[in-house]
Amino acid sequence: MSGYKFPSEEWIKAFKEELNKNEAYAEAAKDWEGDFLFIVTPDEGLDREYVFYVDLWHGK
C-alpha cells in the first residue's frame, strides 16, 4: 500500500482490492458481518479530516 497517497480515494480502493484477494483474511473473516470508519484527523501536513466507510461482509 506504500505506492498510494494516504489518505486518498486511490488508497481506499487499493485497500479494498488487497483485502478482497487475501485468502487468509477471507477464511478468518468468513462469518464477519460489520462495518467501521477510518477517521483521519488533521495534523501537520493534512489540512482536513478524511472519513472512509468500510462495510465488510463474510470476508469481502
Cell numbers at residue 44, please?
501537520
Nearest of 32, 38, 43 to residue 53 by alpha carbon: 38
How many domains is the chain partitioned into structurally?
1
pTM over 0.85: no
Task: Read off the pLDDT of residues 3-57 as tens digits, 9 standing for 90 and up.
Answer: 998 889 999 999 999 999 999 999 999 999 999 999 999 999 899 999 999 999 9
In a domain, 27, yes or no: yes
In a domain, 24, yes or no: yes
In a domain, 45, yes or no: yes
In a domain, 52, yes or no: yes
- The conformation of residue 24, written as its DSSP 8-state character, comes to H
Structural domain span for residue 27: 9-57
